[in-house]
Amino acid sequence: MDGFGLVLGGGGAKGAYEIGVWKALRELDVPIKAVTGTSVGALNGAIIVQGDFDVAYELWTTISIENVINVEKEIVAAGEGGRKTIPIINTIKNLITNGGLDVSPLKEMLNKVIDEDKIRRSPIDLGIVTFSLTDFKPVEVFKDEIPEGKLVDYLLASACFPAFKPHEIDNKKFIDGGIYDNIPLSLMLKKDIKNIITVDISGVGFVKRVNKRGINIIEIKNSEDLGGTLEFDGERSKENIELGYLDTLRVFGKLKGHKYYFIPNKEFDEGKEFIKSLDINYLKRMYAFLGLDIGVRKSAANKIILDKIIRTIQQYSNGKLSLEGVFPAMLEIAAEQLGIERKRVYTLKELSERILEEYNKIIESENYKENMPWINRLLLARTQLEFDKELLKNAFDKKYLISYDANIEEKDEKVKRMRRFIAMAFPKIVISNMLIALLLERENVQREKAVD
């Protein structure tokens, strides 16, 4: 394979995610033939072509708004004084109204980190997009089309966010290329590269439509919110870099999972073995857990409940409901509902243990005990309407319902009725409760085997 084209979207402070993508591509030894970028994608693209990962990482993990914008003293004073952010926002609005924000700190930073000679000597091509206000037309250029000594100027022109002062080059004013093409795939296609990786960081801008026929495109997009466009913060950047890294490894098949990240080794088959170890058909067990009629004649309500649960599990298993996919999907749902850390790699066993740790912490907490009377009132609800009204009366913390009576062998019809009511509105809560019940049962089975 000759190499991939790498297309980097714009999005301001969200651009740290693209450094995480680059980290993964380096680790995977994915050859890059050319990079095209808009706005922050152009800035990151230049450093990628330059080949200085450590420089990029240091820049992003130490960055602050002061490294980008020459903010008025009263903004800093307002922030340091612990006052509300309204004065800061108002000052920024005033600066924009008076001609735009001054990004001289950004220019100074780029002059320090960008090595134009190194970029021009690199075998990797670089293309950027900006927009000329003077000529009122887009400007798409590759590095050999940029005049010597003007590379940083063109990078600044591409990254000239509408709130910034327009950047001038040779008496012409330029603004952010995102108003023309925020993910410049069309520019990459001019290089006749057939294998392309696009990185979408949910930036604000237009995306030019192109004919993708005959092109192998691998799309990478942030799997969770990356923060604000001007939220330049080193700690947030570290999180976004890690997210970009993990998302990329998953796209390339090195990790599995829907929202969480699993190692796809032989242990991943634990999902199938886990269901088998229960020595019962999964669907039958779901029926029993909810107290549904397992016979031929089923009520409309039963069908709705099962449909909600099955569809929810399918969402976390790539739209499929295979035996081996049920367990990982349920794990992800429970972990998400319990607020377990997502930006790390787990084995199925590790995430199972983490879920049980969180469960034990909840049921032993004073808050859980204090909420028991409320849960008992829910148990007494005879209809969905009564149940919903009781929920509305209280500050609803899903963790308590997830952890309540996680017993796969529960016989009390009041508990099963409550589970059905919850499933109608909150299927993820019932799935999480069921998953914990199954994990606890497996623990008991393993403990009994160890004793024998």
Over residues 229-273, the pLDDT tens digits come to 989 999 999 999 999 999 999 999 999 999 999 987 655 555 555
Give the SS3 label for residue 308.
helix
Read off the tokens for 221.
Answer: 């997009």
Query: Pairing mode, if any, of strands 172-176 and 125-132?
Result: antiparallel
Inform me whether the pLDDT recorded for 201 exceeds 90: yes
| 191 residue type, one letter | K
Asked if 78 and 88 touch (Cβ cutoff 8 Å), the reply is yes
Read off the tokens for 190.
Answer: 């001019």
Q: Which domain-ending residue is among 229, 252, 275?
A: 252
**Where is average pLDDT lowest: 109-113, 200-204, 292-296?**
292-296
Nearest to 3 by CA among 128, 171, 188: 188
Residues 275, 234 within the same domain = no
pLDDT for 211 equals 87
pLDDT for 84 equals 41
Inform me whether the pLDDT recorded for 94 exceeds 70: no
Q: Which domain-ending residue is among 252, 270, 291?
A: 252
Determine the Cα–Cα distance for residues 82 and 85; give it in Å rounded to an integer.
Answer: 9
Show Cβ contacts of residue 145 under 8 Å, excluding neighbours closer than 6 positions: none
Inform me whether the pLDDT recorded for 97 exceeds 60: no
Show Cβ contacts of residue 87 under 8 Å, excluding neighbours closer than 6 positions: 74, 75, 78
Residues 310, 222 within the same domain = no
Determine the Cα–Cα distance for residues 174 and 154; give it in Å rounded to an integer.
Answer: 9
CA 447 to chain centre: 38
User: Which residues are annotated as catalytic?
Assistant: 39, 176
Which range in 12-26, 75-89, 297-311 is most confidently predicted, on average pLDDT? 12-26
Percentage, residues of the chain above pLDDT 90: 60
The helix (run of H) or strand (run of E) holding residue 139 is strand 137-142
pTM of the model: 0.85
Burial of 159 (0-12, 13-18, 19+ CB in 10 A): buried
Residues 44, 136 within the same domain = yes
Work out how many domains the chain is built from and give that number: 2
Please report, for residues 132, 292, 293, 311, 414, the alpha-carbon distance to residue 297 in angstroms, rounded to integers and kept in the order given. 69, 11, 8, 21, 22
Residues 177, 195 within the same domain = yes
Compute the average pLDDT of residues 111-129: 97
Query: Pairing mode, if any, of strands 261-262 and 345-346?
Result: parallel
Please report, for residues 69, 215, 403, the alpha-carbon distance to residue 133 in angstroms, rounded to integers and kept in the order given. 21, 33, 59
| 231 residue type, one letter | E
Number of CB atoms found within 10 A of residue 186's CB? 18
Query: What domain range includes position 109?
Result: 4-252
Residues 398, 279 within the same domain = yes
Residues 244, 281 within the same domain = no
Residues 293, 207 within the same domain = no
Number of CB atoms found within 10 A of residue 331's CB? 26
pLDDT for 437 equals 93
Instruction: Identify the CATH number of the domain in which residue 14 sits.
Output: 3.40.1090.10
Determine the Cα–Cα distance for residues 140 and 370; give it in Å rounded to an integer.
Answer: 63
Inform me whether the pLDDT recorded for 444 exceeds 50: yes
Tell me the H-state helices in 143-260.
Answer: 151-158, 185-189, 234-251
| pLDDT tens, residue by residue, 290-334 | 888 655 455 777 888 888 998 999 999 876 666 667 888 999 999
Q: How confident is the model at residue 337 (pLDDT cuts 50, 70, 90)?
A: very high
Is the dihedral angle over the CA atoms 105, 109, 114, 115 positive or is it negative? Answer: positive
| pLDDT tens, residue by residue, 140-156 | 999 999 999 999 999 99
Residues 239, 296 within the same domain = no
Residues 76, 156 within the same domain = yes
Q: Which domain-ending residue is among 202, 223, 252?
A: 252
> What are residue 334's phi and psi, to 5 degrees?
-65, -45
Q: How confident is the model at residue 99 (pLDDT cuts 50, 70, 90)?
A: low
∠ CA(30), CA(60), CA(141), 5° rounding? Answer: 60
Residues 267, 241 within the same domain = no
Inform me whether the pLDDT recorded for 1 exceeds 70: no
Q: How confident is the model at residue 391 (pLDDT cuts 50, 70, 90)?
A: confident
Looking at every residue in the chain, the average pLDDT score rounds to 87
Determine the Cα–Cα distance for residues 110 and 37; give it in Å rounded to an integer.
Answer: 16
Compute the average pLDDT of residues 48-62: 96
Cβ density class 24-50: b for 16+ within 10 Å, e for less: bbeeeebebbbbbbbbbbbbbbbbbbb
Asked if 161 and 176 touch (Cβ cutoff 8 Å), the reply is yes
Gyration radius of the chain's alpha carbons: 27
Read off the tokens for 114.
Answer: 């960008």
Residues 236, 311 within the same domain = no
Residues 420, 329 within the same domain = yes
